[in-house]
Amino acid sequence: MKINGTTKLCGVIGYPIEHTMSPLMHNVFARATGTDLVYVPFLVRPETVRAAVEGAFALNIQGLNVTVPHKQAVMECLVEIDDAARAIGAVNTLVRREHGYQGYNTDAAGLLRALQEERIKIKGQDCILLGAGGAAKAAAYMLAAAGAGHVYVLNRSRERARELAENMNRWSGRELFAVIPPDHWRDIPQGSYLAIQTTSAGMYPRTDEAPVEEAEFYQKIHTAVDIIYTPSKTKFMKLAARAGARTMNGLAMLLYQGVTAYELWNPEVTVPAAAIAEARQLIQDHPGGRQDEG
């Protein structure tokens, strides 16, 4: 890698940031597309988010990813916010504009591209959404924007689920989202569902957890998507597979949210499939990417 006076700088801000896979991924994309760009992690404490964004702009940084816990706080520090990010209520990508940064959310687009790659249909599809946190909002927006059928939201905190459903129903102008307490899953109408798991239950090191434990629940599901990728097979995926469902983890979503951000920073570039495959392999082989109990 040759760094010189014209090298563009991008990075990711978060707290903590040590375990981020983004530098690995974006530096592969830069090399593969012959872009003069380097991507680095920045540890940014919550109380210095504004200073970090203003400092980044002053330093001519071209773009930033934003991760936990700054995805909402950063919205106060931008000159413009993309419609999808506004609807989701979180920003994970900053793109340099003339007077500051414009905020985007590439999680929804990343999830959509991951599902499309697997030919998983959304239009008219009835869905179960597990969780109501930040990741769930991106998934909910993607489902509504892509024309999903009914979406049943199951979340431990009913209040959060209700808020998500109300916001998305308002956004879509339809009664698309309904809340069901996780232990009332039997109230979900008979049918065959696409389920998207967005809670942190089952994520390393809590690999023995699933948001719903009863095996019978999983008979409602034809395709089970977990946005967790460590471990590569979560308990949710195993329970779904045992009930005959097709399963998919969150690695492709991680990759495609990165691809979408990279293409926002470099509009003249399309990240080639071979670079995505290389990044996928590197993440899988990374020690943090293998916290997998099989």
Question: Catalytic annotation on 71?
Answer: yes
Quick check: 211 binds ligand ATR (CB under 6 A)? Answer: yes
Quick check: 253 binds ligand ATR (CB under 6 A)? Answer: no
Of residues 94 and 271, the one with the C-beta less far from ligand ATR = 94
Task: Using CB under 6 A, pick the residue from 27, 155, 232, 249 that binds ligand ATR.
Answer: 155
- Which of 57-65, 133-141, 234-242, 285-293 is the region at the interface with ligand ATR (rule: CB under 6 A)? 133-141
Residue type, 249: N
Task: Using CB under 6 A, pick the residue from 172, 199, 247, 260 that binds ligand ATR.
Answer: 199
Task: Using CB under 6 A, pick the residue from 160, 222, 238, 286 that binds ligand ATR.
Answer: 160
* β-strand pairing of 101-104 with 127-130: unpaired
For the chain, the distance separating the N- and C-terminal CA atoms, rounded to the nearest angstrom, is: 36
Task: Using CB under 6 A, pick the residue from 150, 156, 246, 286 that binds ligand ATR.
Answer: 156
Task: Using CB under 6 A, pick the residue from 169, 200, 219, 291 that binds ligand ATR.
Answer: 200
Quick check: 153 binds ligand ATR (CB under 6 A)? Answer: no
Quick check: 230 binds ligand ATR (CB under 6 A)? Answer: no
| Residue 196 half-sphere exposure toward CB, CA atoms < 13 A | 31
Which two tokens mark 231? 């471990």
Quick check: 286 binds ligand ATR (CB under 6 A)? Answer: no
List Cβ<8 Å contacts ≥24 apart for 44-53. Answer: 44/13, 44/14, 44/15, 44/17, 44/70, 45/15, 46/15, 46/70, 46/73, 49/13, 49/73, 49/74, 49/77, 50/76, 50/77, 52/13, 53/13, 53/77, 53/78, 53/94, 53/100, 53/101
- Choosing from 71, 137, 220, 233, the catalytic residue is 71
Give me the active site residues, please: 71
Would you tell me which residues interact with ligand ATR (CB under 6 A)? 131-136, 155-157, 160, 198-201, 209, 211
